[in-house]
Amino acid sequence: MSETVTATASPGISTGRTLSVRGLGKSYGTGSAENWIIRQLDLEVPPGEFVAIVGPSGVGKTTLLRSLSGLVPPSEGGVFIDGVECNEPHPEVGVVFQDYSRSLLPWMTTLDNVAFPLQGKGMKKAERLSIAEKNLAAVGLGGKGHLYAWEMSGGMQQRVAIARALAYESKILLMDEPFASVDAQTRLDLEDLVVDLHVNLGVTIILVTHDIDEALYLADRVVVIAEKPAHVVDQIVTGFGSHRDQVETRSDPRFAEARGRILTRLRS
Ligand SMILES: Nc1ncnc2c1ncn2[C@@H]1O[C@H](COP(=O)(O)OP(=O)(O)OP(=O)(O)O)[C@@H](O)[C@H]1O
């Protein structure tokens, strides 16, 4: 059974950060085998904005997100956080991946999974557990810290992954197809959870998805990447404000208009 959850303020988050992508290029291989996936990609995401990146399958969305997270070094250009070049994992950038089943450590309880990365901050155990508990509550899993991954649904495990990213004081949250592996109803619930987290916590969010409707429902701005090498080919400010409703927002004439524009752009 799915639950509807309202996010509450997390202790880990204050305001977001500006993320700037300048002339980003990423290639795999060398010499005559060099394959440019992304090239000349520019993007500016101010503090607190929610940006969704859409594009056709295989265009390079995951490659872009990995470059933003510092997990993959760019081949050209760079990623800047508040104007400072950052081409390696940044302590204020949290990442949530699609595959929740591989993101949680199976031998640890949920509470320990969320608290684990905080060890690197040199905090005492009681403080780590307290932050973990508060962030679990923020994603609707208060009091569930004793459970193991195998005792939770896919949607619950993905909430834990989000709580863990938030607990690490992330000011920028990168999400790669975070709802692609859960059922349709759970997906709607998780979408609304992320909307609430964004509104209540003010964190900057960049989410990659192949689902145009999901992008329009969640984001302040939808960035379309396409062609080979991939670059930004269109951007749409959704204009729906902070209030989103799964029925009302998706029935808004601007929603259909934006969807039509993106589909036309991707098929041209
Ligand atoms: N480590 C790698 N080495 C070589 N090529 C890679 C590597 N990672 C990705 N690629 C290639 O880069 C291209 C873009 O892949 P990527 O996963 O970023 O696309 P995507 O838009 O996220 O795809 P999808 O929508 O199917 O998830 C693909 O052609 C892929 O084969």
Cα–Cα distance measured from residue 242 to residue 3, given in angstroms and rounded to the nearest whole number: 21
Ligand 1 atom closest to Cα of residue 63: 18
At 15 the pLDDT is 61
Task: Read off the pLDDT of residues 168-189 as tens digits, 9 standing for 90 and up.
Answer: 878 899 999 988 888 889 899 9
- Checking if the pLDDT of 135 tops 60, the result is yes
Cα–Cα distance measured from residue 67 to residue 24, given in angstroms and rounded to the nearest whole number: 9
pLDDT confidence bin for 16, thresholds 50/70/90: low
At 55 the pLDDT is 96
76-81/19-28 β-pairing: antiparallel
N residues, the chain: 268
Task: Read off the pLDDT of residues 214-232 as tens digits, 9 standing for 90 and up.
Answer: 999 999 999 999 999 999 9
pLDDT confidence bin for 13, thresholds 50/70/90: very low
At 89 the pLDDT is 87
71 lines ligand 1 (CB under 6 A): no
58 lines ligand 1 (CB under 6 A): yes
Distance 86 CA to ligand 1 centre (A): 22
Determine if the pTM surpasses 0.95: no
Distance 60 CA to ligand 1 centre (A): 5
Distance 40 CA to ligand 1 centre (A): 17
Whether 231 and 41 have beta carbons less than 8 Å apart is answered as yes
As a whole number, mean pLDDT of residues 12-26 equals 80
At 202 the pLDDT is 86
At 101 the pLDDT is 75
Distances (CA, A) of 172 to 16, 69, 140, 225: 6, 10, 21, 20
As a whole number, mean pLDDT of residues 92-115 equals 89
- In degrees and rounded to multiples of 5, residue 103 shows phi and psi of -95, -20
The protein residue whose alpha carbon is closest to atom 7 in ligand 1 is 28
At 114 the pLDDT is 95
Amino acid, single-letter form, for residue 195? V
As a whole number, mean pLDDT of residues 115-129 equals 90
- Please provide the DSSP assignment of 20-52 as one string: EEEEEEEEES-GGG-EEEEEEEEEEE-TT-EEE
Task: Read off the pLDDT of residues 194-215 as tens digits, 9 standing for 90 and up.
Answer: 999 898 888 899 999 999 999 9
66 lines ligand 1 (CB under 6 A): no
CATH number of 19-105+170-267: 3.40.50.300
57 lines ligand 1 (CB under 6 A): yes
Highest average pLDDT, of 88-97, 119-128, 237-246, comes from 237-246
